Amino acid sequence: FVTDTGKESQPFYFFENNPHECAQTWQVVRSEFDKMLLDNASDLGVDVCYGCRVLDAIFEGNRCVGVKVQNPDGSIEEVRAKVVVDASGQSLVIGNRLKIKETDPLLKKASVWAYFEGASREAGLDEGATLVLQTEGKKGWFWYIPLHNNIVSVGVVSSIEDMFADKLSHEEIFNRELDRCPAAKRRVAAGKRVGGFMSTKDFSYRCSQVAGDGWVLVGDAFGFLDPIYSSGVFLALKSGEMAADAIAAAILKNDLSAKQLGNWGPKFIQGMDRMKRLVYAFYEGFSFGAFIRQNPDMKRHVIDLLVGDVFKDSVDAVVNPMDLMREEMRAMTTHM
């Protein structure tokens, strides 16, 4: 983490808390990673249809019984299934059809990003580290994510109102925010942009249910938090894992009800909410460094949260004290 004044925090190394083979993270290009997952599914026996487009989910009453698909040749067919898993990402095929998507009013954010070749990297162990760099006045922040082939993903996140207030182009917005973040500008200076700028907004949302009769939502088709802790892929994979267990049990019991297919929802949402409290804390100006200095015994729990180990009750040992510190900060701000 790099503050708006340029002060850099000590890195959080996941292996410090629980050294094992999964105590590291991987920086991946999403298109390559997604293809790897799809190829693996195919190798395990899944029938993969390339070039097909899901037009709609098919419902009979309240039960989802399949999908309507457009094939590569333009023909349309109905594909029936015992259970339909909506993994359509932010297309939200079922969520939009049922109008169950709910945006987070406290996270009305937008982002603009691009890729740079040859931008600077940290030294040694930190070469592949994700950096979070705040802009002046803490109005926004940059992500700085090193990828392979000497490419770095660089993006800025701020409120929708601040980001698009001047009706500038995406490039002009990016450069304006870069001027407000010397730590990011210095790192990008040596790089050459590869490709154009991209943008999205209002990306923090959640559907009001994870499942219904004959259908399940996983990944971004259910919800997305915020990119600050890079939790998107983790939560998507975790929801898929938990949903798969519920679906397997549902088929064995011949119970394809919303209750059975969604029995994993409460636990998943509880973990997601713990992560959300971290997101809220960041935008309120919460300092992990100050928190750890006051509570040195909590460092391992903070690492648990940052690594995504949010589905066990023991992490509340740090989340609850953090909430108290946030309340104290708000009280001090109110009385200033």
Question: Structural domain boundaries of the chain?
Answer: 14-27+109-201, 49-104+205-271, 284-334
- Per 3-state DSSP, the chain is made up of helix, strand and coil in percentages (nearest 5) of 45, 25, 35
Structure token digits, residue 316: 């509340």
Count CB atoms within 10 A of the CB of residue 114: 21
Predicted pLDDT of residue 334: 57
Query: Chain centroid to CA 117: how far?
Result: 24
In angstroms, the CA 181 to CA 115 distance is 17
Predicted pLDDT of residue 100: 98
pTM exceeding 0.75: yes
The contacts of residue 288 (CB under 8 Å, 6+ apart) are: 1, 9, 302
* Residue among 212, 230, 110 nearest 159 (CA): 110
**Geometric angle at alpha carbon 281, from 321 and 188, rounded to 5°:** 135
In angstroms, the CA 44 to CA 255 distance is 25
* Residue among 42, 191, 201, 38 nearest 120 (CA): 191
Predicted pLDDT of residue 299: 82
Topology, domain 14-27+109-201: D-Amino Acid Oxidase; Chain A, domain 2 (3.30.9)
Predicted pLDDT of residue 67: 98
CATH 3.50.50.60, applies to 49-104+205-271: yes
Contact 121, 127 (CB under 8 A): yes
Stated length of the chain:
336
In angstroms, the CA 208 to CA 247 distance is 19
Torsion sign, CA atoms 199, 204, 210, 212: negative
Predicted pLDDT of residue 98: 98
Structure token digits, residue 101: 């998507």
Torsion sign, CA atoms 264, 266, 269, 274: negative
**Geometric angle at alpha carbon 190, from 189 and 196, rounded to 5°:** 75
* Residue among 181, 190, 180, 124 nearest 152 (CA): 190
The DSSP result for 28-85, as a single string, is --HHHHHHHHHHHHHHTT----TT-EEEEEEEETTEEEEEEEE-TTS-EEEEE-S-EE
pLDDT digits (tens), the chain, 336 positions: 888 888 887 777 777 767 777 677 789 999 999 999 999 999 999 999 999 999 999 999 999 999 999 999 999 999 999 999 999 999 999 999 999 999 999 999 999 999 999 999 988 888 888 999 999 988 999 999 999 999 999 999 999 999 998 889 999 999 999 999 999 999 999 999 999 999 999 999 999 999 999 999 999 999 999 988 888 999 999 999 999 999 999 999 999 999 999 999 999 999 999 999 889 988 887 877 788 888 888 887 887 787 788 898 888 888 888 888 888 877 766 555
Structure token digits, residue 231: 């939790």
